[in-house]
Structure 1
């Protein structure tokens, strides 16, 4: 029998144990026996441990950039990182559902209306490490606790620096909170009206001249009904979920200018969607080491390993029995980077280096007869993707004008691709070995930032980027009844060319406004293309074009706070010459208008009150523009006030007015997003 709640595959414990051992050794025995703020070496230089990478370069603001502070992340009404990131208009997952009620493999991220499939077109980094799943390209959101983060920097547009080959639509850089931000001990425990619970805790001691942070999170619930009441059958169930994660991070000074950072993360996530027995599960064990030097020759050296697994059971929407058991998908991601910033004069900041990534994985599944419940076929598919990139960038300061430019060369290889089928007794019935694909890709970006005054800055940028198809897109078919989507081993790299111009205003202290217009074109965009009744295939479209305007606002005056973000876009498929007639159609899962605004009040020390109004415009489910997902507007509330000592009461309200949010619509078969959910609980030390 197959345990459908837990993914199976390689144990993947060795890199985690090794990472933990290295981390603890570094924290305990690093050569800095006193506190960082008091330490000094023999030359009298203060040792400053940050736990971060190298600083942003002067040219960074030439691109459309926005910062989310820790306070905004821990005040999300759902307590989930994807909810906090949704405060940035243009942040988009494949579907509107969050990590309680979506299939994990559909949680890819993109920016700027370039959606349409479930893989990430945006690069998500945690302390410099790419977080996308090596096989699927989705982001393990349940492993990323908002309470453990210090800030998030979102840079829209194609990337060219380290790991730039994954930053097709932009980069979302997550930075972990340090010991000062967390305090020695923090904890929270909340529950909602359905009896669901969410708990998190951290322990962040100073160790010698550095610090360690141990974090944990666990949430569980019977879930809400994703199936509309008039479509439920006896087999329909709530979207039950349970997930946990444990992370350990240490930072230790080796010299006054060099620090060692080590991180380990272990997580598991189980969900049930729509029907009894339709269980999905994912797990991961990640470890990384990072050496950061801030001397005259600044450098950032990073190495990481990821061991992931995924399982999923597909249940027939007519007979309500399992028809496909994707019982394990073990995948491994290994990579690293080296960035150097040599001293080339005060007017220039030069970055040069290389990075490498390798993703390998194998899908294992069994097809099951809906009539007899017997195995009819066994399937296995997978391969290896590698990318080696070389990059060079320079920022040049000329008084009020800053110029920035960079170039990147990538050697990408798709190899060892195979798809094999066997009968129920294990006899080989078919095997296809796919041809090796290799490509050199050259991308670049450049921008200019001019400060007309302290209050007014103008910026303009142009960029290109690329993304490899994932192993999932190349080799794994999937079914969301009644629609089957086929893989395509002949997919080519996606390539983006984009332009933007913007204005940043700071008329008063604590007041910022931004306006950006952009024009992006993705050639060979990968989409799920309809090729028959209830049948689709992943194909390279000729292109997706997206033009739009982004607005941002931040106001912090007295006790009032306001943060707002808006995106309007006109995205269309250039389908000339494609296998399907998609020309001028809107990409699937791409709303034209998205806006979010949060109004907060901080009446006294320890108090926080906020309301978030969010609107997502109508979007199409499919490439044929036949099934629509109506617009949805939600109101969320958050309140926190002191109770005693370091304890606080926390109240949260999701979707206060119980707006109906349709997250899937396939020929009238629908799924719904989170209904009104009320949370209450306690926090300690945050």
Structure 2
């Protein structure tokens, strides 16, 4: 399938628009953008935070998940980044709606959902910041394309445009603990379009996640070794119409705390997108994802292998079409449909801690699908803009199964779960009052839902010594929320925004304690999240100061078997989060920046028995040109070596990234 998509794209590039490659004085010049459709006038009603390319290319860690942390309230399930976290724990969420490792935030790259089809985690190590032009984060449940997965918000990653890309780029860094980072890019014009090929390698011996005071001889460094390569091609098909192709291959290998506790993830993604910026605007997209994951769990007491999740193949297919008819009169209309299909299964072996032999072999998996249609309409009434959207989705969970056999092949369990399906509707309304160009009031209300992932439905897992069971009977999560805020821009380059919000996530999926060192995924009645979000930026000549703060007060509402959780805070949900970045660009090519990040205390587990203390970290970045094409770059992560606790179960503690120094060179040839 991927090969076919690649061949199709290059045929379209080569033959789809020959007129664009044979310009003469009588032929208009066709310009491609490589972008999607422009935002509508009502989009600011929902509030959003933008991250520009300058910030994307000046992060001390060089990792996209840490850049997204510039938006206060963004979090993964754990505080670890994609060098030392288990990949399956890299779910993304906003507004302290945490509690499990699946993504409650829809992350799109050029319009394509990035969540793993089986687990719902985001392959952050495969998303290189240097391949992007901008990021847009919109908090609150979404409508529009693929909105069924956006219960906490939407993060739109936009690929670098032609002007952002040098003909040849190369960077090489060396850091603490034998860390290496190498990236390269080659971009060339192809008629009126362009083709860009890029690659990145990241590896290192890693750091000890166990604190020095409790470190045992069995503890090893969290070594990592990952690579990714991407191909992007953009070409005109007609005046105002362009085709965009994107392909991605990646692999990521990590070791977590103990020798042999190895995980791996890999993927092969491809998409084709056709954009029309003409009178009848449309965005048509199709994508395919092939993913896999493996994971070995080592006992902290016996140091033997207890579980080998040796194979988890999954496939994601999907597409959308959005049309914007020329209705005119300041009333833009969006109509569309989308589909997401996921299938996957796991193969795992359980081992005896005494003999080290296989005791059980399990195979589980299933399918899920959503088919949605959506419409959104805006009304411009002078200084007031009103907007409303509606989605209708048909969801299906099917072919679920769990089979278990003993080491000698005896059937222990052979379950086939009933197929389920239903309709869900989602709405979104907003208002934007902009009496002046530099001040606006906004308000919005919305509903949304999220389908449980195949991982939550069928895959058990262990973070030693706690085992968590799957639950094939999980209900759909449903969110209702309201928010209001304002944005102000002052003439001296200062901008500021504030939002208050209230969200209620009904039937929230959480890991619920049901016994000593035993949990099971289940639905609690609701998670209530209310809070305040602030963001601002001040530009003074060559200096830029930006920052954000989020206060989130989240509580669980639970009854029945989960009643012990009622009134408690959701796991992994800090009350306070803040960050600030000061950047100085004294002249072209020179960049100096410092970033401070604070995350408040949060609970490790649903019963609030283990607390992760607050952490304040500082990062630094400096780039100085040596020649017109070469720059010397230095980076330092966690300058003061703050101990960031990422996991705590009684006396067992894991730590996040310590202080890391980087030195490297960047080469760019336009």
CA distance in 1, matches of 2:261, 2:145: 39
Say if 2:385 is the partner of 1:402.
yes
Q: How far is 1:684 from its partner?
A: 1.3
Aligned to 1:3: none
CA distance in 1, matches of 2:15, 2:215: 59
Residues 457-503 of structure 1, C-alpha deviation per residue, up to 9 Å, x if partnerless? Answer: 00000001100000000000001111000100000110000000011
Structure 2 CA distance for partners of 1:353 and 1:510, relative to 1, 3 Å: same
CA distance in 2, matches of 1:365, 1:27: 44
Structure 2 CA distance for partners of 1:379 and 1:461, relative to 1, 3 Å: same
Q: How far is 1:644 from its partner?
A: 1.0
CA distance in 2, matches of 1:457, 1:178: 30
Q: How far is 1:262 from its partner?
A: 0.8
Secondary structure of 2:500's match? Answer: strand
Q: How far is 1:39 from its partner?
A: 5.7
Aligned to 1:70: 53
Q: How far is 1:34 from its partner?
A: 5.1
Secondary structure of 2:56's match? Answer: helix
Picking from 233, 237, 244, the partner of 1:254 is: 237
CA distance in 1, matches of 2:53, 2:83: 22
CA distance in 2, matches of 1:383, 1:41: 58
Structure 2 CA distance for partners of 1:34 and 1:184, relative to 1, 3 Å: farther
Secondary structure of 1:18's match? Answer: helix
Say if 2:17 is the partner of 1:31.
yes
CA distance in 2, matches of 1:310, 1:656: 33
Residues 565-613 of structure 1, C-alpha deviation per residue, up to 9 Å, x if partnerless? Answer: 1001111111134534111100100000000000111112211111111
Q: How far is 1:349 from its partner?
A: 0.8
Q: How far is 1:400 from its partner?
A: 1.1
Q: How far is 1:396 from its partner?
A: 1.3
Q: How far is 1:46 from its partner?
A: 4.3
Aligned to 2:574: 591
Picking from 9, 13, 18, the partner of 2:4 is: 18
CA distance in 1, matches of 2:160, 2:271: 17
CA distance in 2, matches of 1:194, 1:368: 33
Picking from 243, 250, 264, the partner of 1:281 is: 264
Say if 2:474 is the partner of 1:491.
yes
Residues 173-228 of structure 1, C-alpha deviation per residue, up to 9 Å, x if partnerless? Answer: 00110221012111111011222100111111110010111110101000011011
CA distance in 2, matches of 1:428, 1:52: 53
380-389 or 227-236, which moves further after superposition?
227-236
Q: Is the 8 A contact 1:27 1:211 kept in 2?
A: no
CA distance in 2, matches of 1:24, 1:681: 35
Counterparts of 1:311-350 in structure 2 under 5 Å? 311-350=294-333
CA distance in 2, matches of 1:362, 1:102: 22
Q: How far is 1:429 from its partner?
A: 2.8
Say if 2:623 is the partner of 1:640.
yes
CA distance in 2, matches of 1:579, 1:588: 14
Q: How far is 1:369 from its partner?
A: 1.1
Report the count of equivalent residues. Answer: 669
> What residue ranges of structure 2 are gaps of 5+ in the alignment?
none
294-303 or 617-626, which moves further after superposition?
294-303
Say if 2:285 is the partner of 1:302.
yes
Residues 376-421 of structure 1, C-alpha deviation per residue, up to 9 Å, x if partnerless? Answer: 1100000001000010001111121111110000101111000001
CA distance in 2, matches of 1:69, 1:18: 34
Picking from 526, 531, 538, the partner of 1:543 is: 526
Counterparts of 1:434-583 in structure 2 under 5 Å? 434-508=417-491, 510-583=493-566
45-54 or 524-533, which moves further after superposition?
45-54
Residues 605-624 of structure 1, C-alpha deviation per residue, up to 9 Å, x if partnerless? Answer: 21111111110000000010
Aligned to 1:122: 105
Q: How far is 1:155 from its partner?
A: 0.6
Residues 351-388 of structure 1, C-alpha deviation per residue, up to 9 Å, x if partnerless? Answer: 01110001000010001111111111100000001000
Residues 641-667 of structure 1, C-alpha deviation per residue, up to 9 Å, x if partnerless? Answer: 101121111111100000000000011
Residues 418-454 of structure 1, C-alpha deviation per residue, up to 9 Å, x if partnerless? Answer: 0001122334332011111111001100100011212
Secondary structure of 2:230's match? Answer: strand
CA distance in 2, matches of 1:215, 1:426: 47
Structure 2 CA distance for partners of 1:427 and 1:578, relative to 1, 3 Å: closer
599-608 or 479-488, which moves further after superposition?
599-608
Structure 2 CA distance for partners of 1:427 and 1:214, relative to 1, 3 Å: same
CA distance in 2, matches of 1:74, 1:145: 10
CA distance in 1, matches of 2:516, 2:183: 46
Residues 255-278 of structure 1, C-alpha deviation per residue, up to 9 Å, x if partnerless? Answer: 012111111100000000010000
CA distance in 2, matches of 1:648, 1:526: 48
Q: Is the 8 A contact 2:20 2:236 kept in 1?
A: no
Q: How far is 1:41 from its partner?
A: 10
369-378 or 137-146, which moves further after superposition?
369-378
CA distance in 2, matches of 1:681, 1:397: 51
Aligned to 1:264: 247
CA distance in 1, matches of 2:29, 2:489: 34
RMSD over aligned Cα atoms: 1.4
Aligned to 2:126: 143
Counterparts of 1:211-250 in structure 2 under 5 Å? 211-250=194-233
CA distance in 2, matches of 1:578, 1:571: 20
Q: Is the 8 A contact 1:404 1:448 kept in 2?
A: yes
Residues 222-259 of structure 1, C-alpha deviation per residue, up to 9 Å, x if partnerless? Answer: 00110112322222100000000011010110001211
Aligned to 1:169: 152
CA distance in 2, matches of 1:19, 1:643: 42
Aligned to 1:612: 595
CA distance in 2, matches of 1:317, 1:253: 57
Q: Is the 8 A contact 1:40 1:47 kept in 2?
A: no
Residues 545-571 of structure 1, C-alpha deviation per residue, up to 9 Å, x if partnerless? Answer: 000000001112201101101001111
Q: Is the 8 A contact 2:207 2:221 kept in 1?
A: yes
CA distance in 1, matches of 2:25, 2:30: 7
Q: Is the 8 A contact 1:542 1:577 kept in 2?
A: no
Aligned to 1:61: 44
Q: How far is 1:54 from its partner?
A: 0.7
Q: How far is 1:140 from its partner?
A: 0.2
Q: Is the 8 A contact 2:139 2:152 kept in 1?
A: yes
Say if 2:400 is the partner of 1:414.
no
> What residue ranges of structure 1 are gaps of 5+ in the alignment?
1-14
**Scaled by the length of structure 1, what TM-score is found?**
0.96
Aligned to 1:6: none
Q: Is the 8 A contact 2:20 2:30 kept in 1?
A: no
Secondary structure of 1:658's match? Answer: coil
